Amino acid sequence: MEAMLEIADVVTAYGKIEALKGVSLSAAKGRITCLLGPNGAGKTTLMMSIAGALKPRQGSIRLEGSELVGLSPARIVGNGVALVPENRLVFPQMSVRENLLAGAYQRNDSGEVTADIERMYARFPRLKERREQLAGTLSGGEQQMLAVARALMSRPRLLLMDEPSLGLAPIVVKEIFGIIAELNREGVTIFLVEQNAHLALQVAHHFYLMEQGRVTFSGNPGELAEDEVIKRAYLGTRRSAG
Amino acid sequence: MIPFIQTTLDGLMVGSSYGLLALGFALIFGVMRRLNLSYGPSIMIGAYLGTLLYIKFGPPTYVVAIVAVAGSVMAGIYVERLCFAPLGVGAGVASMVSSFAIWMQLEQASLLMLPRHSYPFPSLTGGELWSLGPFVVRPDYLIMLAAMLAMSAALTLLLYRTRFGLGLRAIVENSLAASLSGIDVERTMLKAFALASAIGGVAGFLVLSANQQVTAMLGMWATLKGLIAMMIGGLGSIPGAIVGGLALGVIEAHSQNLFGPQVRDLAAYAVLFVLLVLRPGGILGTTAVRRGMGQRGGDRWTTT
Amino acid sequence: MDFYLGLAQIVGVHTLLGLSAYCVLLTGQVSLAQAGFFAIGAYVAAMLTVLAGWHIVPAIAAASFVAGATACAVSFPALRVKGLMLVVATLAFGEAVRLFFFNFDYQVAKGEVKIGPAGGEGFRQIRFFPENGWSTLDVLIFIWLFVALVMAGLWWMDRSRAGAVLRAVGEDEVAAQSAGINVTAVKVAAMTVGGFIAGLGGGIFAHYTAHIEHAQFGVALATFAIAYPILGGLSSVFGTLIAVVFVQGFLIEGLRFLGDWRNLLFGGLILLAMNVRPRGLIDAATIAAVKRMRTSNKEPGNARTQGAE
C-alpha cells in the first residue's frame, strides 16, 4: 500500500520536556488512519508537528516522499496538508463565507474557489443557511463543520483532524463521522486523532495507539479486541513509563 | 457663537493630522496588540531624509514627499524586524522596551543627519488662508482632512475587500488558525507594519508641510499624538482612529481657548485617563475589544 | 574620582526608580506612571527643604508618602483596565503630572532672590546638601543607605508569603482569584509601594542634582523605569541593580566617548540584550545555576550574565 504520510523517529519538545519521544508511523493513501491514546500522550503535539506549528527537534515527516520538517505552516498547507485543529478555532468575528475564503487563502483560481464554496454549501447545508452569519454565533457542531470545510477549501491531499468529536453532542458526532467516511470515499486521505475509540474504529482502516510520546501499538481494527483498545486508549497501560 | 465654531473648526483641522497618525497606529496595534513606541521616530527618519534632500538640492515637493514616505517605511521595517518579529507572543513589555531602544537609535540617526533644532520644510499651499463667510480655514489642513478620509476609506476597502485584508483579519482573530489556513503570518504582519509606516509617513509629510518646518520633537510628538488619538477613539479601529483624532483636536483647541496654551496638553491627557478608566474600549470601542484585552491568555503583557 | 562618585549616585537613584517598577511588574502590571511618582517625590521633597526649611530625612519621608498616596489613589481607577490599556492610562497620568509641574509656579521671595518651582523654568537652587556641608561621599552614602534598605525590604518580601502572592497574581490572575487572593487589593498595594519607592528616589534625586524641571520626568524616564527590571529579569531584585549598572554605567557613561554616535549603539545593545536574554539578564535559570555553584562549587558559573556588567 502506498503511503501518503511517513513519519520517522520524530522528537518534539516543549523546552526540556519531550512530548514526542521518537514517533514513527505512516498513513496510507486514500485511507483513514486513526491515532488513539489517552490525554497527554502527545497526539495534538504530533498533529501540530505535521502541520508545522511546532518544530520537531529530530526526525522526518514526509508527504509522498517530500520532506515537511522545516517548512512554515503556510508552506505545508501549500504542499497539500490541511489540519482541522483541536477546538475547531474558527475565526469568530468573520462570516462563514469569509472563514471559507480564509481556507482558500493560497489559491489563485478565484472562479474555482467560488465553485468550491458552493460545493461546501451543498455538502453542509447548514453552513449555507448561515453563510453571512459570524462564525462565533454558530453551534459547536456547526463550527466543527465549518472548520472541516475551511480545511477542505485548500484542496488538501491529506486531511488531518484533531479530535473532531470534542465537546459535541452524540448525534452531532455521528454526523461528523458520517462526513469523514464520505470524504474518504471521495478519495481524501485522512489522518485522525480521536478519543472516541468506538466510533474511530468503525471508520478507520488502520489505527495506532500512542502512550506517553511513543507509538505502542499498530494494527487494523479487529486485530485487538475493542475493549482492550478502549482500555488502552483511555487509560494507557503505563507499561512504557520512563 | 462664531468664535466657538471657529475654535471647533481649528480643532477639527489639527485633529485631522492626529487622525492620520492614529490610522497607522491603529493598524499596527490592531494586528499585533503591541505598543510601538518607535512609530513617531520612524516617521521622523523619513521626514529628515526628505528635509535633507530639500535643503541640499531643493527638488520638487512631490519628490520630498516620496522620500519621506519611503524613509519611514524603511525605518518601520527595521523596527518590525528587530522589535516585533523575533520576540514571540507573550512578550508585550519586551517589544515595547525594544521599540524604545530603537526610538533612541532613530532619533539619534535623524539628528546626525540634521543637527539643528529646526529646519524649513516645503509647503504645499504657501500657508495661505481661506475665508468662508465669517470663518477662516487653512487649505493645507483641508488637504489633510481629505487625505485622512481617503486613506481610511482605502484602508477599510483593503481590510474587507482584499485577500491581504482577509489574511490580516484572520491573524487578528487567531494567528494559529490563520497559519494553519495557509496564511503566512510573519510576512503578512511585516506588510501591515510597512503599510502603517507609509500612512505615518504621509501624515508626517502633510503635518510638516503645514507647519513649514521640521523640529527634533517630531518623533515624540507623532508617537504620543497618534497613540492618544487611537486610544480615545477605539483600539485598533479605523473609524475610531478618525473620531479619536478629531476629538483630540477639538479638545485641545477648546482647552487652549479656555485656559491658555499651557493647559492644552494637560487637558488631553486628563480626558484620555478618564476615558480609559470609564470606557476602556475608547469612544467606538466594542465590548468584544474589552473582553479580548488583558484577559487570561489573550493579551499577556509581562515576561514572568 | 568625583566622576565615579557621581555615577554611583545616579546608579543608586535609578535603582530606586527601577525597583519601584519591579514591585508593580511582579503583579503583572506595566506602569508608565513611575516617572510621575518620581516627579511628585522630587518636587514635594525639594519644596519642603527649600521653602519650609525641613531637614532632608523628614522631607523625603513626607515626599514618599505623598507619592505613595497618589499612587494608591490613582491605582483604584487605573486598575480597572489591564494590559496595554493600563500602559496607556499610566502613561497619560505620568504625562499629566509632568505637565502639571510644567505649569506649576510657586515662588517665594527670600531676601534678594525668588525661590521655588517656576513652571517651565524648573525648580533651581535645591541646596540642602551644600548648605549643610555634606560632601559628595556623604551624599553617596546617604543614597545607598536607602537603596540598601529598599533592596533588603523587597528581597525579604520576595521570599515571604507576600512575594508569593504578588507573583501568583502576576502569573495568572484568574487562578490567584480562585485561590482566594484579593487581586485588586494586591495590585493596589503593589502600586502604592511602587509609588512610595519612586517618590523616595525622586526626593533624593532633586537634592543631588539641585535643579529639577519637568522635562526630566517624561516618557523616556518612565520607559527607563520599566526597562531596568525587564532587562534585569523579574526573578530577583539584584537583576534590576545589574541592569541599572549596565545601562547607566556601561551604556551611558562607558560609551560617552562615542559622542553623537552613542545612542545608535545604546539602542542596539539594549535590543541585543532583550533578544539574547528575553527573560532578563538574571533569570530563574541563572539563579538556579548560582545556587548549584554555591552548593557544589564545581559547576561553571553563568559567564554570560557576569560578563554583561
Amino acid at A70: G
Where is average pLDDT lowest: B158-167, B189-198, C133-142? C133-142
> C and A: touch, per 3+ CB pairs < 8 A?
no
Can you list the alpha helix ranges (DSSP code H) found in chain C?
2-26, 34-50, 56-78, 83-103, 128-131, 136-159, 161-171, 173-178, 183-209, 219-232, 237-244, 262-276, 284-296, 303-307
Helix or strand (DSSP H, E) at B152: helix B139-161
What share of chain A has pLDDT > 90, as a percent? Answer: 74
Residues with Cβ within 8 Å of residue C301, at least 6 apart in sequence: C289, C290, C293
Bridge-partner residues for B130, per DSSP?
Answer: B137
SS3 A217: strand
Please check whether residue B130 lies inside any domain of the structure.
no
Alpha-carbon dihedral sign for residues C250, C220, B81, C260: negative
Report pLDDT digits (tens) over C235-263: 888 889 998 998 888 888 777 777 777 77
Could B180 and A101 be called an inter-chain contact, meaning their C-beta atoms sit closer than 8 Å? Answer: no
- Which residues constitute the domain of residue C154? 2-218
Distance CA B194, CA B197 (A): 5
How far apart (Å, rounded) are the C-alpha atoms in residues B15 and B17?
Answer: 5
Report CB contact under 8 Å: A74, B288. no
Domain span at B24? 2-124+161-291
* Euclidean distance between CA atoms A194 and A198, whole angstroms: 10
pLDDT recorded at residue C197: 96
Q: Please tell me what DSSP assigns to residue C261.
A: G
Give the integer Cα–Cα distance in Å for B132 and C34: 48
Q: Is the dihedral of CA C55, C59, C62, C64 positive or negative?
A: negative
Q: Identify the closest residue of chain A to B163 by CA–CA distance.
A: A105
CA torsion A219→A222→A223→A225, rounded to 10°?
120
Distances (CA, A) of B154 to B157, B159, B238, B300, C114: 5, 9, 11, 32, 58
Residue C176 to residue C178: CA distance in whole angstroms: 5
pLDDT for res C167: 87
pLDDT in tens, C158-198: 888 888 898 888 888 888 888 888 988 999 999 999 999 99
Q: pLDDT digits over C16-29, tens only?
A: 999 999 999 898 88
- Indicate the number of domains in chain C: 1
This complex has an ipTM of 0.91
**Is residue B297 included in any domain, yes or no?**
no
How confident is the model over C48-55, as a mean pLDDT? 90
Give pLDDT tens digits for B172-200: 888 899 999 999 998 999 999 999 999 99
Q: What is the pLDDT of residue B303?
A: 35
How far is the C-alpha of B184 from the C-alpha of C55, rounded, in Å?
64
d(CA B36, CA B29): 8
**What's the mean pLDDT in C72-95?**
86
**Residue B109: which of C77, C83, C264 has the nearest Cβ?**
C264
pLDDT for position C60: 94
The three-class DSSP label of residue A167 is coil
Residues 6+ apart with CB under 8 A from A84: A144, A147, A148, A150, A151, A159, A160, A161, A162, A164
| Cα torsion B298, C166, C227, C103: sign | positive
- Count of domains forming chain B: 1
Q: What pLDDT is stored for residue C62 in this prediction?
A: 96
Selected residue of B180, B184, B188 to mutate for chain A interface (largest A Cβ count, 10 A) = B180
User: Given this model, what pLDDT does residue A197 score?
Assistant: 85
Is residue B155 situated within a structural domain? no
Closest CA to B34 of B221, B175, B156, B183: B175
The amino acid occupying position B210 is: A
Q: List the beta bridge partners of residue A8.
A: A60
Please check whether residue C58 lies inside any domain of the structure.
Answer: yes
Nearest alpha carbon to residue A153 among A191, A114, A127, A197: A114
Q: Taking 50 as the threshold, does the pLDDT of residue A225 lie above it?
A: yes
Which H/E stretch holds residue A200?
Answer: helix A197-203
Examine residue C149 and state whether it is found in any structural domain, yes or no: yes
> In this structure, is residue C161 part of a structural domain?
yes
- What does C37-73 look like in DSSP terms, one character per residue? HHHHHHHHHHHHHHTS---HHHHHHHHHHHHHHHHHH
Give the Cα separation of A100 and A128 in Å (integer): 11
If you ran DSSP here, which 8-state letter would residue A69 be given?
A: T
> What residues of C are in contact with residue B273 (Cβ under 8 Å)?
77-78, 89, 92-93, 96
Cα–Cα distance between C21 and B177 in angstroms, integer? 36
Higher local confidence (pLDDT), C277 or C4: C4
CB pair distance less than 8 Å for B112 and C260: yes
- Chains in touch with B (3+ beta-carbon pairs under 8 Å) read A, C
* pLDDT value at B90 more than 80: no
* Direct distance between the N- and C-terminal alpha carbons of chain C, in angstroms, rounded to an integer: 20
| Average pLDDT score over chain C | 85
Q: Helix or strand or coil: residue A188?
A: coil
A140 in contact with B, Cβ within 8 Å: no
Across C200-235, b (16+ Cβ under 10 Å) vs e yields bbbbbbbbbbeebbbebbbbbbbbbbbbbbbbbbbb
Angle at C76 between CA C75 and CA C82, to 5 degrees: 70
Quote the cell numbers at residue C187: 495590585
Q: Are the beta carbons of B86 and C102 separated by less than 8 Å?
A: no
**CATH classification at residue B200:** 1.10.3470
DSSP B91-144: -HHHHHHHHHHHHHHHHHHHHHH--SSEEE---SSTT--EEETTEEE-HHHHHH
Does pLDDT of C44 surpass 60? yes
Distance from CA of C98 to the nearest CA of B (A): 9
What's the pLDDT tens digit per position in B234-290?
777 888 899 999 999 999 999 999 988 888 888 889 888 888 888 766 676 543 333
Please give the pLDDT value at position C97: 93
Q: How far, in Å, CA of C160 to CA of C65, rounded?
A: 24
Cβ burial, residue C91 (10 Å; 0-12/13-18/19+): buried
Grid cell 487509560 is found at A235
pLDDT at A98: 96
pLDDT of residue A38: 86
Cβ–Cβ under 8 Å, residues A240 and A41: no
C122 within a domain of the structure (yes/no): yes
Residue C45 has pLDDT above 90, yes or no: yes
In-domain check, residue C200: yes
CA distance B174 to C166: 30
What pLDDT does B292 receive? 36
Please indicate, yes or no, if residue B18 is contained in any of the structural domains: yes
What is the DSSP secondary-structure string of A129-140? HTTTSBGGGS-H
Q: Using alpha carbons, select from C95, C98, C92, C119 the residue that is nearest to residue C107.
A: C119
Structural domain includes residue B142: no
The yes-or-no verdict on residue C41 having pLDDT over 70 is yes
To the nearest whole angstrom, how far is the Cα of B300 from the nearest Cα of chain C?
7
Range with lowest mean pLDDT among A98-112, A137-151, C82-96: C82-96
Please choose, from the candidates B272, B248, B265, B217, the residue with its C-alpha nearest in 3D space to the C-alpha of residue C77.
B272
Task: Quick: pLDDT tens for A177-192.
Answer: 999 999 999 999 999 9
CB pairs under 8 A between B and C: 171
Contact (Cβ atoms closer than 8 angstroms) between residue C91 and residue C32 = yes
Q: Is the pLDDT of residue A71 over 50?
A: yes
Cα distances (angstroms) measured from residue A171 to each of A85, A168, A183, A199, A200: 21, 8, 19, 12, 15
List beta partners, residue A7. A25, A61
The string of pLDDT tens digits covering residues A128-177 is: 999 999 999 999 999 999 999 999 999 999 999 999 998 899 999 999 99
C170 vs B273: CB contact, 8 Å cut-off?
Answer: no
Lowest mean pLDDT segment, chosen from A226-235, B163-172, C101-110: A226-235
The alpha carbon of residue B138 and the mean position of all alpha carbons in its chain are separated, in whole angstroms, by 22
Residue C195's pLDDT is: 96
Which residue of B25, B84, B87, B100 is the best one to mutate when testing the C interface, meaning the one whose CB has the most C CBs within 10 A? B100
Cell numbers linked to C280:
532578563
Query: Given pLDDT bands bounded at 50, 70 and 90, which one contains residue B164?
Result: very high
Residue B62 above 50 pLDDT? yes
User: What percentage of residues in chain A have a pLDDT greater than 70?
Assistant: 97
Residue B273 cell numbers, joined? 485617563
pLDDT at B288: 37
Percent of chain C scoring above 90 in pLDDT: 38
C-alpha cell read off for A11: 522528537
Interface test with C, best of B273, B287, B291 (most C CBs within 10 A): B273
- How close, in Å, is residue B136 to chain C by CA atoms? 30
The answer to whether the CB atoms of B177 and A78 lie below 8 A apart is: no
Residue C106 inside a domain? The answer is yes
Domain assignment present for residue C20? The answer is yes
- Angstrom distance (rounded) from CA C159 to CA C86: 27
Cα angle B155-B158-B162, degrees, rounded to a multiple of 5 = 175
To which H or E segment does residue B185 belong? Answer: helix B185-211
Q: Give the integer Cα–Cα distance in Å for B150 and B157.
A: 11
Question: Are the Cβ atoms of B180 and A73 closer than 8 angstroms?
Answer: yes
Q: Which of B31, B84, B232, B276 to mutate to test the interface with C (most CBs of C within 10 A)?
A: B276
Residues from chain B contacting residue A162 (CB–CB below 8 Å): none
Residues forming a β-bridge with A160: A83, A191
Interface touch B177/A85, C-beta < 8 Å: yes
Which residues on neighbouring strands pair with residue A207, listed in sequence order? A34, A219
Q: Taking CB atoms and an 8 Å limit, are B108 and C261 in contact across chains?
A: yes
Contacts of B181 in chain A (CB under 8 A): 77, 102-103, 105, 150-151, 154
Question: What's the confidence (pLDDT) of residue B83?
Answer: 83
**Strand ranges (DSSP E) for A29-175?**
32-36, 58-63, 66-67, 81-84, 158-162
Of A73, A94, A106, the CB nearest to B173: A94
* Maximum alpha-carbon separation in chain B: 61
